[in-house]
Amino acid sequence: MNQRISERILSHNLLAQNLASATVFNRIPARFLEQEQRFNAFKEEIRRFRPSLVCLQEASIHDPDVLAEAMGTLGFAGIQQQRPTPVPLAVFWHRATFDLRWSEERSRALICEFRDQTTSTNIFVVNCHLQARPDEVTSRTRVSQLHHALWRLELRLQGLNMRPQDACIFVCGDFNSLAEDAPYTFLLTGHLSASLEATQHQHVDEKGHPTDEIKHPFRFADVHDVFGRVPEFTHVRNGVGNRVDFVFAQNVGLKGALDVLPDGETWDERRENGLPSENQCSDHLPLICDFVL
């Protein structure tokens, strides 16, 4: 039997360079918004944490070719969202650890299947960046985006003759919503009923029939909740912090979740000082989890 080796997944909204404006971030020193400063901080993040899977939202911190070249130098291959969008998704994998077997691009999700070179285990990653702006219509849209990505993953598993509950899966990214909101509830419980506000619009079931109830067959856990290391916030701007970034897992040997704040820093200090900062490239903090297959 192949030896199980600990791996690491990192998920991070990098803050698209076109959004890193002094007008929006008027409390942040201008040098922390400069592209090369932020890009260098990101590359140092990869060197420091040494992940084997990297899921990026708002990957347009730099040009796609520049990002691919930098990650290649660090030992990664990757795919970046091809459809026109100012906030593209990207997934990178360590070339000595994983092989890409399949991927599918959606408007707000990038779905990948990898084969672990040591254990020959397949692992699936759904990298999400759900719609922004916290209004009712967008809340409904977020649920639909998440539902559709999971449905496409389920179709892939059916084609591989795999039961959805047996697959090793990570769902991660920027959900632009809180833990008490509908997308989080949908992921953890597996369904949303018509009694919830976010389902008050037409969905379709597996046969294409209209339905007010949506569901999925997976059994996800909030990784940071599993280890009792739920961050106070993952995004901060103008002194307000919210937890809007998450990592969920199913059927993965979870080993731990790293603290999202640097050693010695407090939540109050980071909320007051804001982001980006000297060593943080974005207004979002990275999420990092260890696992085995």
What residue ranges define each of the domains in the chain, with the CATH number in brackets?
7-292 (3.60.10.10)
Q: Which residues contact 197 (CB under 8 A, 6 or more apart)?
A: 136, 139, 140, 182
Q: Which residues contact 218 (CB under 8 A, 6 or more apart)?
A: 150, 164, 165, 167, 169, 190, 250
DSSP 92: E
Mean per-residue pLDDT pooled into runs of 10, the chain (293 residues): 80 97 94 97 97 98 98 98 93 98 96 97 97 74 92 97 97 96 94 58 53 86 96 95 97 94 88 94 97 95
For 17, the 3-state DSSP assignment is helix
Q: Are residues 103 and 113 in contact, defined by beta-carbon separation less than 8 angstroms?
A: yes
Pair type for strands 122-129 and 240-242: unpaired
Nearest to 220 by CA among 181, 185, 195, 194: 185
Instruction: Please give the model's pTM, rounded to 2 decimal places.
Output: 0.93
